[in-house]
Amino acid sequence: MSEPPRKFDLVLRGGRVIDPARHVDRRLDVGIRDGKIAEVRAGIGTDEARTSIDVRDRLVIPGMIDTHAHVYQYVTGSFGMNPDLVGIRSGVTTVVDQGGAAPLTIQGFRKFIVEPAATRVFAFVSNYLVGGLVGHRYTELYGPRGINVRETIRAIEDNRDIVKGIKAHAEVGGYSRWGIETLKLAKEASRKTGVPVYVHLGRLWAEADGTRIDPDVITPEMIPLLDPGDILAHPFTKNIGAFVSRDGKVHPLVFEAIQRGVRIDIGRGGHMSFHAARLVLDAGIVPFTVGADIHGYTIRRPEDGSWDAGYFDERRARRREPGRSIGGAAVFSLVQVMNELLALGLGLRDVVAMVTSNAAVAAGLDGQLGSLAPGTVADVSVLARDVGRWSLEDSLGVTLGATERLRPDFALKAGVMHRADSPLLFESLTEVA
């Protein structure tokens, strides 16, 4: 006698399910069939599934979305990471590349990054024709002459399935050369295509020779250009010219922007200042999304002058001494940034929302990703939650104590399991005895 058909291909059994999009936070079973979420309820029978995984000591959340990645590997030199190392192998099912792909290179991004990756990959296309070549090292390529609004629009219209916005800058180095003109051109393309602009704040390039810019003059020119849905990045940056003005207070126009519907992404990278984060959070500003901003310069520094090797050497990373970071005070994973937010006092459900439902909204993926609603694609992240004593370090070497940490175990992309085995997950918190 043949065995009766099973209702589910896989059941994640007994985990704490946090699904902010549906206001769910309780112990439930998650049933998956044909790569989609079939049911989320308590008490799914063991005889209803071909395979069950006991996750009673885990958090089960929608597949995490990193809203600020740099994954145009090789083309962006040492800056670009492998999408699966920062994505699915770090427990993150979706990454959004910020400014690596450009009007002149978007087809290569599709062919060599998006299509072969196990991770879902999207892009905010660069405002500049050349994009993030070798990590934006050649400043002269990033002025108004390096922008063609017509080609930016064409890149978006021809690639709507992967392009979800435009990456631009409003920082002191560019301002010293071109004022706010490059952002104006980005907004022209943004309004004609209906996609948001993601704006880098704080220093990227040094000021032009012979100039010295007051960093507080940029915000009054930049904020009025923004529309609802546009995104300001790096609120916690150690650099000048962002949220915190020279007098140590959050610029009042930032509050005005948020009231108008502008969103905030952390864009952690090498920017994090716990002091700036404390000032911003205490002012009542909570970022909408996380954005780990992992790139090669946060992972390692070249030791032989070869900046453009174009890859992160996983084998070399695995050989390093236990407990020793690759590049000093660096961010290694999206979950690491979540741990920093928890240590800064944000609530777990709020932080989960930032990397799931909020991230889906910001990236124009709402209704497709960021939820465990039945019928949606079965992208799921499963995390351990450890209790202990750890020390975290920001980009200035300042430490912050933590009493809990999240740790990715595995992720499902369309119901297929991927273990969280990325070397970027190697211990990045120092345990306190």
Residue 221 domain boundaries: 63-362
CB half-sphere exposure, 307, CA atoms < 13 A: 10
Q: Is residue 2 part of a domain?
A: no
Strand 8-19 and strand 24-33: the pairing is: antiparallel
One domain, residues 16 and 82:
no
Helices first, then strands: H and E counts in the chain: 13, 16
Q: Is residue 96 part of a domain?
A: yes
Whether residue 112 contacts residue 103, with contact meaning beta carbons closer than 8 Å, is answered with no
One domain, residues 336 and 401:
no
One domain, residues 44 and 161:
no
Q: How far apart are CA 337 and CA 397, in angstroms?
A: 15
One domain, residues 99 and 191:
yes
**Residue 271 sits in a domain of what CATH number?**
3.20.20.140
**Residue 16 sits in a domain of what CATH number?**
2.30.40.10
One domain, residues 52 and 88:
no
pLDDT at 276 (0 to 100): 93
One domain, residues 92 and 144:
yes
One domain, residues 81 and 218:
yes
**pTM of the entire structure?**
0.93
One domain, residues 211 and 319:
yes
One domain, residues 158 and 260:
yes
One domain, residues 281 and 293:
yes
pLDDT at 328 (0 to 100): 40
pLDDT in tens, the chain (433 residues): 455 678 999 999 999 999 999 999 999 999 999 999 999 999 999 899 999 999 999 999 999 999 999 999 999 987 899 999 999 999 999 999 999 999 999 999 999 999 999 999 999 999 999 999 877 778 888 999 999 999 999 999 999 999 999 999 998 888 889 999 999 999 999 999 999 999 999 888 888 887 887 878 889 999 999 999 999 999 999 887 788 888 888 999 999 999 999 999 999 998 899 999 999 999 999 999 999 999 888 875 444 333 344 444 545 554 444 333 333 456 789 999 999 999 999 999 999 999 999 999 999 999 999 999 999 999 999 999 999 998 999 988 899 999 999 999 999 999 999 999 998 886 555 666 5
Number of domains in the chain: 2
One domain, residues 291 and 302:
yes
Task: Give alpha helix (H) positions in 248-321.
Answer: 252-259, 274-282, 296-299, 314-318
One domain, residues 334 and 391:
no
pLDDT at 429 (0 to 100): 58
